[in-house]
Structure 1
Amino acid sequence: MSILDRLTGQDRPSPANAEFIAVLADEASAALLRQFVLEGMVSHAHVLVGGVRDLIGLLGQVERPPRQLVVDVSGSTMSNTELAELAAVCPPGVAVVVVGERNDVGTYRELLRMGVDDYLVKPLTMDLLRRVLNRRTGRSVPAQQIRTGKVVACVGSRGGVGTSTLVANLGWQLAGPLERRVAAIDLDPFGGALDLMLSAPNNHGLADLLANVNQLDPNFVERSFAQAAPRLFLLAARAELDQSGVLPPRAVLTLLAELRKLFHYVFLDLPARGGELTAALLADADTVAVVSEPSVVATRETLRLIQLAETRDDRVPLMLLVNHPRQPGHAELKLADFEEAVGRRASHVLPFDRDAAGLGENLGPPLISRRGPLALALRRVADDLAGRRSAEGGRRLLPDWLPLPGLAPARGG
C-alpha cells in the first residue's frame, strides 16, 4: 500500500474518520486533489470521483464530522437543490469549498450568500489549491465567518411538566429520521434524568469539559460525550448533593460556543429553578422552549419565564408547549384561560398518554419512535423546529434555520 493511498483513504471502504473529503466530477480533478493531499501531508483525507449525492451518502457513514469538504457541481442541472440537500446532513462548522465551471460573479456571490467558504472555477491548478486551501490542515481560508448550529434552551414552568421528555424525544427524532447531528445537555447535575431516558451512560463528561473549558479542542469535546444513538450525543454530570459551583455560567457559555461548531442542534435541559445559569442560557439561546401545564401554579411561573426570556435585546423564537403529564381533571385550567393569562397562544399542545409516556421514560427508546397521539404531537414539534411543517390552525411555527453547507446559518438568522 502506497503512502498516497494511505493519505487519501483509498485503503478503506468508507471515510469514517476522514477530516478532509473531496468529491470531484472527473478523474483529472480528483488526481490533482490527491497530489495536493500528498504534497501537503494532509492526514485522514478521502478523495474520490462523484457528485453531491455521493458526498451526501459518504457523510451518512462518518463517525464524526470532517473539518473540510470539497464538492464538485460541474455538469449538475440542479446544483442549488443538491447543495440544499447536502446542507441538511452537513454539520455546522464544516468548511465547504465548491468547484464548478461557471465563471461569473453572480454564481460566486450566490454561493457565498448560502454559506459556502469559497468557489473554485475549473480547470483546477495546484497553485490555485495552494492559495485557497491550507496545506497543513486542508481547511480553506474562510471568505466569511463560518456559520454555526442552534442552541435550543428548554425550561419547564415547574418540575415534572416534561422538559426532559421533550429534550430526549426531540433529540431522538432530529438525529434519527431527520438526520441532524444533535447534542443533548442535561444541566441538572443533582438529579437530571436524560441519561435514563436515552439509555446512555452518565460519564461526567460535562464536568470534565467545564473544568478544562479554556483548553477545548474538537477531539476532547467528542470524547466527553456519551453516544445515545447515531448522530445523538449526551453530555451530563452527576454531582454530590452538597456540591457547589458545579456549572459556572461563564464556562457553560464558552462550551456552547464550541458546540455550535460541531452540531446542528444543541438542546439544553434546564432545571426548573436554575437561577443565574438559566437566565444566562436563555439570553444566549437561539430558540427558547417553555414547557408548561394548565395549572394555576404553572401559569404563574410560565408568565415569569416568558418575561425573563423576552428581556434580551434581540427577539428570538419562543415556543410555548402545553403538556398534559397527568390525567385531566376538574382542577385544570381550560387552554383558552391559560393562554389568556400568559398572553400568548400555545405553539403545541401535548396530549395525555399514560402508557406511552411511562414506557418512554422508564424503558426506552423515547416514545416518539412509537405510535399514539403523544408521539404524533412530539413529531410535529420536531418538524416545526426543522422547518418541515406549514402553519396549522393559526399556531405560530418556526422557520427552517438550515441553509447551505458550512453552512449552518448565522445565529439568529
Structure 2
Amino acid sequence: MSSAFAQRPTDGFEDEFDLDMSYGQDPVAPFPGQEAAAAPMRPPLQFTAPAGAGPVPAPMAAPAMAAPPMAPSTLPAAFNPVGELAAAASAAFNPPAHMGASIGEVSVPRIAIHVFAERQDTLAAAERAGQDRRLSRATTQIRIGGVAAAVDTYQHEPTPPLIVVECLKDPETLLWEVDQLAEVCDAGTKVVVIGATNDILLFRELMRRGVSEYLVAPLQPLQLISAIGGLFNDPDQPFVGRSIAFVGARGGAGASVVAHNTAYAMSERIGANTVIVDYDLPFGTAGLDFNQDPLNGVADALSQPDRLDPVLLDRMMVRCTDKLSLFAAPATLDTDWDVSPEAFEEVTTRIRSTAPFVVLDLPHLWSGWMRRTLIAADEVVIVATPDLASLRNAKNMIDLIRQGRPNDAPPRLVLNQVGVPGRPEIPSKDFGAALGVHPSLTIPFDAKLFGAAANNGQMILDMGGKSKTGDAFQTLAQIVSRRELPAVAGPKGKAAKASGSKEGGSSLFGSLFKKR
C-alpha cells in the first residue's frame, strides 16, 4: 500500500543576521535547488504520523534491494565519494564558525528523528547535530545503512515524524529507492534525502515525489540543523530576535557596564532596535546607568511568564531612546528571589519576540538557570579583568560553554579595566593564549570617564564619544550584532536627552532617593 511523504510547509524561515565580522567569512551558500521551490509537488495527505517510534534495533548493514534495470540516464551521473577522505573528516570535524550566523533561530518540537547514513562523516555530522542546543527537545536516533535499512526497519515499526536518509547511488537508483521508502512510510512523515549529485532536475523530481528537503554530501551539522528547523518552522510564530549574553568572569569585572554601553552603541550608532534585560534582580544597575526609575519589569515577568503578551511586555519595559528599551531589575532586598529556570527561559523567549537584539545582563552567580541561559544564548560575551582569578573563572566558563555548544563559535572575551596604575596585570596576549580565545576587545582603564558617566547616568558614547573607550564599545557593538555602522551616524547626545539625563548628575541622585 503506497503512501506519500508529507510536503514541506512554506518556508518563512529567514535570518537577517548574515554577517560575522569577527571571523571574516561569507555566510554559508544556499542549499542545492532552493531556487526551485516552486516545482510541482504531490498534494499532502491529511493524517499525520505518530509522535514517536518504538524501540530501535542496533545498527545494521544495508539489506540488499534488487533495483530494476536502469534506462539510459537523463540526469547527470553521480560523483564517486572517497571513503578514506570521509573517514578522515569524521575523525577531525570542525565546522566553520561563521555558519552559526546563517541558520537563524531554529525551534524544533519534541519529535523523534531517525537518521540512516552511509558515509562515516555523515554519521559524525548527524551525531553532532543531535547534541546541539537547537535540537535539545528532539530525540535523535542514528543508524547505518541508508535507504535500504530504512525500508527494512519500517516494515515492522511505525515511522517517526522525520526521517533523514542518505543514498550515494546514481540519480535513477536514488529515485527508485525513495519510491520504495514511500511504500512503508506513514502519511505525514517528513523525509530529508542526502545524495551525491548536485542537480536541479533531481531536486525537482524529489520534491514532486513529496520529499521535504534534499542536501548534498558531504554534510555539516549546521546544514542539517538548518534544514530540520526550516521544516518545522511556523510562519505564524512571532519574530525571534538574537540574544547576546554578557557575564563577568568575576565580581567587579564590569560586565554590566560593558553590556549597557554595547547595547546603547547598537541602538544609537548602528540603529538596531535593542532591549536590555537586567537579570540581577537584587543588585541590578541598568536603571542607574540609564537614569531611569526601575520598574519591577523583570520581576513581574518572571512571576507570570505564561501571561506575557506583546501588550503586557510593552508596559513592563522602560523606553530609554527611540530604539533602546530596558527591562530593569527591581534592585531591592526585601524579597527572596526564588525563580525556576523554566521561568527565566520562558521570559527570555517572550522578550526576544520584541526586538532584533536582546542583551542579557547576567549577574555574577552560578545556578541552573544561569547555565541554561548561557548555553541557549546566540552569543556569549565574557568580561574579565587581567588577573589570575578572572583567568581561572573565564577558563571554566569557556570550557563549559564549548561543551554545551559544540557547533557554535566560542564565547567572546573582553578584557576590561586594562592599565590600572600600579596593578600587576597578565598581558592580553598571554591571557588569550591560556584560554585559547583571542580577546575580541581590550578596554583601557579610564577612572575619570567611567566615573563621570556612572554618576551622571549616561553612556560612554555621550560622555566621550571620540575617546578610545567610546570607539571600543562601538567596535564591540559591530562584532556582536554582525552589522556595519550606517554611513551617517545619529546626532550625539540625542539618546541622553531622550533618557532625561542632565549634566552634573543632579537628576540621577534625585531619582534614586526621591522614593525613599
Alignment TM class, shorter chain as reference = 0.5 to 0.7
Structure 2 partner of 1:352: 445
Question: Residue by residue, what CA displacement relative to the aligned partner does 1:184-203 show, whole Å, maximum 9, x if unpaired?
Answer: 11111111111111112210
Shift of 1:291: 0.3
1:377 lines up with 2:472 in the alignment: yes
Alpha-carbon distance between aligned partners in 2 of 1:191 and 1:239, rounded to the nearest angstrom: 5
Question: 8 Å contact 2:278–2:286 — kept in the other structure?
Answer: yes
- Whether contact under 8 Å (1:292, 1:321) holds in the other structure is yes
Match of 2:393 among 297, 301, 322: 301
Give, as a single letter, the amino acid of the residue that structure 1 aligns with 2:454.
E
Paired residue secondary structure (2:414): strand
Q: Structure 1 pair 283/341, CA: closer, same or farther in 2 (3 Å)?
A: same
For residue 408 of structure 1, what is the aligned residue in structure 2? none
Equivalent positions of 1:7-22 (< 5 A) are: none
Segments of 5+ residues of structure 1 without an aligned counterpart are 1-82, 89-104, 116-140, 391-413
- The answer to whether the 8 A contact 2:379-2:480 is kept is no
- 1:297 to partner: Cα distance: 1.1
Distance in 2, Cα, partners of 1:212 & 1:299: 38
Q: Aligned equivalents of 2:337 and 2:431: distance in 1?
A: 36
Unaligned runs of 5+ in 2: 1-13, 18-33, 39-101, 105-232, 486-516
Distance 1:188 1:332, change over 3 A: same
Q: 1:239 & 1:328 partners in 2: Cα distance?
A: 32
- The yes-or-no answer on 1:199 pairing with 2:291 is yes
For residue 245 of structure 1, report the CA deviation from its aligned partner: 3.5
Q: 2: distance between equivalents of 1:361 and 1:326?
A: 20
Please state how far the C-alpha of 1:387 moved relative to its aligned partner.
2.2
Whole-angstrom CA distance in 2 between matches of 1:202 and 1:385: 26
Structure 1 contact 226–233 (Cα < 8 Å) conserved: yes
Aligned-residue CA RMSD (Å): 2.9
The aligned length equals: 262
Q: 1:152 to 1:244 in 2, by over 3 A?
A: same
In structure 2, what is the Cα distance between the partners aligned to 1:191 and 1:220?
24
User: Does the 8 A contact of 2:287 with 2:329 survive in 1?
Assistant: no
- Asked if the contact 2:281/2:337 (under 8 Å) is kept, the reply is no
Helix, strand or coil for the counterpart of 2:314? helix
- Secondary structure in 1 aligned to 2:335? coil
Q: What is the alpha-carbon distance in structure 2 between the residues aligned to residue 268 and residue 114 of structure 1?
A: 21
| Gap change, CA 1:383 and 1:108, over 3 Å in 2 | same
Q: Distance in 1 between matches of 2:248 and 2:394?
A: 8
What amino acid maps onto 2:466 in structure 1? R
Distance 1:142 1:315, change over 3 A: closer
Distance 2:103 2:367 in 1: 38
Shift of 1:165: 0.8
C-alpha distance 331-207 of structure 1, shift in aligned 2 (>3 A): same
Given candidates 244, 269, 278, the residue that maps to 1:186 is: 278
* Matching residue of 2:371: 279
Report whether the alignment pairs 1:312 with 2:407. no
Structure 1 residue 241 corresponds to structure 2 residue 333: yes
Structure 1 residue 275: deviation in Å? 2.1
Could you tell me which residue of structure 1 aligns to residue 120 of structure 2?
Answer: none
User: 1-side partners of 2:434 and 2:234: how far apart?
Assistant: 48
Find out whether 1:335 has 2:406 as its counterpart.
no
Q: Cα deviation per residue 1:370-411 (whole Å; 9 max; x = unaligned)? A: 221111111110111232469xxxxxxxxxxxxxxxxxxxxx
Matched, 1:160 2:255: no
TM-score w.r.t. structure 1 length?
0.58
| Mapping for residues 77-88 of structure 1, pairs under 5 Å | none
User: C-alpha distance in 1, partners of 2:307/2:236?
Assistant: 25
Of 281, 291, 302, which aligns to 1:210? Answer: 302
Which deviates further from its counterpart, 239-248 or 147-156? Answer: 239-248
Q: What is the CA deviation profile of residues 337-366 of structure 1, one whole-angstrom value per residue up to 9, with x for unaligned ones? A: 212222221111111222221122221320
Contact 1:153–1:285 (Cα < 8 Å) also in 2: yes
1:291 has 2:383 as partner: yes
- Equivalent pair of 2:386/2:418 in contact (CA under 8 Å): no
Q: Which residue of 2 aligns with 1:62?
A: none
Match of 2:243 in 1: 151
1:380 corresponds to which letter in structure 2? T
* Amino acid across the alignment from 1:186: D
1:329, 1:257 → 2: CA distance?
A: 45
| AA matched with 1:373 | K
Larger radius of gyration: 2
Distance 1:236 1:210, change over 3 A: same
Partners of 2:280 and 2:478 in 1: how far apart? 27
TM-score, normalised by the number of residues in structure 2 = 0.47
Paired with 2:375 and 2:480, the residues of 1 have a C-alpha distance of 19
Shift in alpha-carbon separation, 1:170–1:208, aligned structure 2, 3 A:
same
Aligned twin of 2:181: none
